Structure 1
Amino acid sequence: MPSEFKKTCHIIGAGRVGKTLALLLSQQHTWRLSHIVSSSLSPSAVSAEVCRSVAQLPPADAVLLAVPDDAIETVALALADSPHFRAGTLAVHLSGAKTVAALAAVTERGGLAGSLHPVFAFADPVLAAANLAGSLCALETQDQRALALLTELAQILGLQPFTVLSEYKSRYHAALSAASNFSITLAGFARNLLSTIALPDDLAQRLVYRLMKQSIENLAALSPEQALTGPIVRGDTATVAAHLSAMTAEEQAFYRVLAQATAELAAGRLKMSEANCCEAKIQAAQAMRAVLRQQTE
C-alpha cells in the first residue's frame, strides 16, 4: 500500500451509487479502495479487486454498503459474520431513509455504524462522479468515532456534510424525495399538457425545462413564498378557471390539488407582508381559495 494511504475501504454493491463512489475513491490518495463486491462488475472497470461474496472481503477500516434499502440489514449481517470482520470497522450505508439501526448486526460485533447520504440524483456514474463535488451530504450515527470517520470520508469525496438525528430520518428523506421526484412528475404533467397543442417535442421540453430551471434558481436566494409567481399568487381567478376549462377531468383533478397547495403558500406570503399589502390582494387570495374549493366539490 502506498505510504500516502491512511485507510482502506471496500464497497459492497456496484449500482449507480456504488460505481460513482468507486470512481471517486480511485481518484484520491487518502483512502484506498481495496475490494468491491459485485456479481456482475468487470475487474477492469475499476481500480480495485472485484469479489463475488462478502465473505471474501479482507479486513478494512470501512465498508460502504451501496445496496438497496431493503437489503441493508441482510448485507450487514453477512458482513458481521464474515471471517475477516474486525471490531472497530466502520460499516456505512448510503440510504437517506434507513437509520443506523439497520446496521445493528455490525455494532453487536464491535463494529461502528454510520449513514452517509449524498443529496444528489445519481443517474449516470461517470456524470455523477464529475459533478458530485460540492453536494450536501447527510451523516447519521450515534458514535463520535464513527462521526469523525464519516466526516473524513465525506470530505475526500468532495461533499459538504451535515448531521441528521435518527428520529428525523424518515421526515428528512420524505422532504428530499418530494423535492426531487415530484418536480419530475410535475415536469411530466406540464409536458403532457403541451403535447396536445401541436408543439414540437423538443420545444415543449425546452419550455418546461427552462421555466422550471429559472424557478429553482430563484429558490437559491428566496424562500418558496417569495419565489412564487403566476396567477394564483396574483389572485387571478379568471386565468385559473380558464386553465381548468382547457383540461380533461383527470388533468383538472391533479391541477386542483397543486393549485390549492399553491394558494395556501400564496396566502402565507400575503400574511407575512400583510401590513404592506393592499386589502384587494388579500381578498383576491381568499377568492382564489373559494374558487378552488368550489371546483373540488
Structure 2
Amino acid sequence: MKKSFHIIGLGRVGQTFATVIPQSGRWRLACAVSRSGGGVREDHAVCPIVPRIGLLPRADAVLVCTPDNAIEEAAAELARLPWLSAQTLVVHFSGAKTIGALNAVVKCGATIGSLHPVFAFADVAQSVRLLRGNLCALEADGAAAMAVLRDLADAAGLRAFEIPSAQKARYHAALSAASNFSVTLAAFAQDLLRPLNLPEPLARDLVCNLLRQSVDNLSRLPPVQALTGPVVRGDDSTVAAHLAALSGDERQLYRMFALSTLALAAPRLGAEAQEALRSVLAGGGPL
C-alpha cells in the first residue's frame, strides 16, 4: 500500500517534489496547501488543493516547502491537527534552519526531519527533469524518522547523506560560499574585462568557460591540486603586472583573492616564492 504525503507551499520546490516523489510508485500525493490558490503544474501532478493547513486529512508525512521564515508558523498550525502521531513525519526543506524549527509538532507526538536538496530550483519543469541523482542533506530526530526521510529522498531519486543539527549553519555557509561567491567572483572577472570593450556575450564566455574547467578539475582533484595560474606557479612578476593594470578598488579585491589563493597554494610553493608573492601583494597598499 502506498504511503501518503501532503505538501505545504506550492512554490518551485513544492511543485517539484509534488511531482517527482509520486513517480516512484511508493508514495501518493494526498493534498497540497496553497493560500494563493495556485496548484501543481497540470502536466506533472494533480492533487486536491486546500487554502489552510487545518483542512488537511490524515497522512503519513507532511512536507513543509514554505520559505524559511514561515516554517515555524506552519509547524504551529500543524500542531493543532488532531491526527498527528508518532507515525507522522513532518519535514522541512531549509538548508539553514535545523529541525528545531518544527518543535511545535513534537509536542503532539509527531516525528520531525529536514531534507535539503543541494539543487538550484530555477524552473519547475527543468527541476523535475534534472533533480534525480543530486545530493541532499538529511537531519532527523531519531532512527524511525530518518528511515522515512531516506525513503522520501530515495523516492525523489536523490543521493542522501546525514548531517548533525549542530553543524547545520556551517553546512549551509559552505554551500552558500560555493554557489554565491563563485557568481560574485565571475562578476568581478567580467568587470575587469569591461575596458576592453568586448561584446558582453564574449566576456561572459571567457569567464564561464574557465570557471567550468576549474569546476571540472575540482570534481577530480583536491583544491590544492586543481589550482592553476600565476600564484601557484610563483610568477610574482605576472601578479605585479596584474596589480599595475587595475584601479584602486579592483586592486584591493584582487589582492584579497590572491592572498587567499597564496595560502591555498603554499604546499606547492617554496618559501622564497611565497615571500616574493607576499611582497608584491603588500606593495599595492595597506593590507
Return the TM-score normalized by structure 2.
0.94
**Aligned-partner residue type, residue 283 of structure 1:** E
- Aligned partner of 1:13 in structure 2 is 9
Shift of 1:81: 1.2
- Aligned partner of 1:244 in structure 2 is 243
Pair 1:166-2:165 in alignment: yes
Q: Of the candidates 14, 29, 35, which is equivalent to residue 33 of structure 1?
A: 29
Supply the distance in 2 between the matched residues of 1:205 and 1:118 (Cα, whole angstroms).
28
**Aligned-partner residue type, residue 197 of structure 1:** L
**Aligned-partner residue type, residue 293 of structure 1:** A
Supply the distance in 1 between the matched residues of 2:90 and 2:104 (Cα, whole angstroms).
10
SS in 1 for 2:195: coil
List structure 1 runs of 4+ shifted beyond 6 angstroms.
none
Supply the distance in 2 between the matched residues of 1:296 and 1:6 (Cα, whole angstroms).
66
Question: Structure 1 residues 234 and 62, CA, compared in 2 at 3 Å: closer, same or farther?
Answer: same
SS in 2 for 1:219: helix
Q: Give unmatched runs, 5+ long, in structure 2.
A: none
Number of aligned residue pairs: give it.
283
- Aligned partner of 1:147 in structure 2 is 146
SS in 2 for 1:196: helix
Structure 1 residues 115-130: aligned runs within 5 Å: 115-130=114-129
Contact 1:12 1:18 in 2 (8 A): yes
Shift of 1:36: 1.4
Shift of 1:196: 2.4
Question: Structure 1 residues 231 and 44, CA, compared in 2 at 3 Å: closer, same or farther?
Answer: closer
**Aligned-partner residue type, residue 136 of structure 2:** C
- Aligned partner of 1:285 in structure 2 is 274
Q: Give unmatched runs, 5+ long, in structure 1.
A: 271-280
Supply the distance in 2 between the matched residues of 1:265 and 1:108 (Cα, whole angstroms).
48
- Aligned partner of 1:222 in structure 2 is 221
Structure 1 residues 265-284: aligned runs within 5 Å: 265-270=264-269, 281-284=270-273
Deviations along 1:124-159, one digit per CA (max 9) or x if unpaired, are 111111111111111011211000001111111010
Contact 2:18 2:40 in 1 (8 A): no
Supply the distance in 1 between the matched residues of 2:174 and 2:216 (Cα, whole angstroms).
18
Supply the distance in 2 between the matched residues of 1:148 and 1:65 (Cα, whole angstroms).
18
Question: Structure 1 residues 166 and 42, CA, compared in 2 at 3 Å: closer, same or farther?
Answer: closer
Supply the distance in 1 between the matched residues of 2:268 and 2:117 (Cα, whole angstroms).
31
- Aligned partner of 2:75 in structure 1 is 76
Contact 1:58 1:85 in 2 (8 A): no
Deviations along 1:13-43, one digit per CA (max 9) or x if unpaired, are 1122112112212433111111111123136
Question: Structure 1 residues 245 and 12, CA, compared in 2 at 3 Å: closer, same or farther?
Answer: same
Question: Structure 1 residues 111 and 202, CA, compared in 2 at 3 Å: closer, same or farther?
Answer: same
Contact 2:99 2:114 in 1 (8 A): yes
Shift of 1:238: 1.7
Return the TM-score normalized by structure 1.
0.91
Question: Structure 1 residues 37 and 90, CA, compared in 2 at 3 Å: closer, same or farther?
Answer: same
Contact 2:15 2:40 in 1 (8 A): no
- Aligned partner of 1:202 in structure 2 is 201
Supply the distance in 1 between the matched residues of 2:164 and 2:249 (Cα, whole angstroms).
40
Supply the distance in 2 between the matched residues of 1:43 and 1:165 (Cα, whole angstroms).
32
CA RMSD between the two structures: 1.6
SS in 2 for 1:195: helix
Range 19-28 or range 220-229, more displaced: 19-28
Q: What is the aligned-residue identity percentage?
A: 51
Supply the distance in 1 between the matched residues of 2:271 and 2:70 (Cα, whole angstroms).
51
**Aligned-partner residue type, residue 263 of structure 1:** L
Q: Of the candidates 20, 23, 28, which is equivalent to residue 24 of structure 1?
A: 20
Structure 1 residues 45-60: aligned runs within 5 Å: 45=42, 46-60=45-59
Shift of 1:44: 6.0
- Aligned partner of 1:275 in structure 2 is none
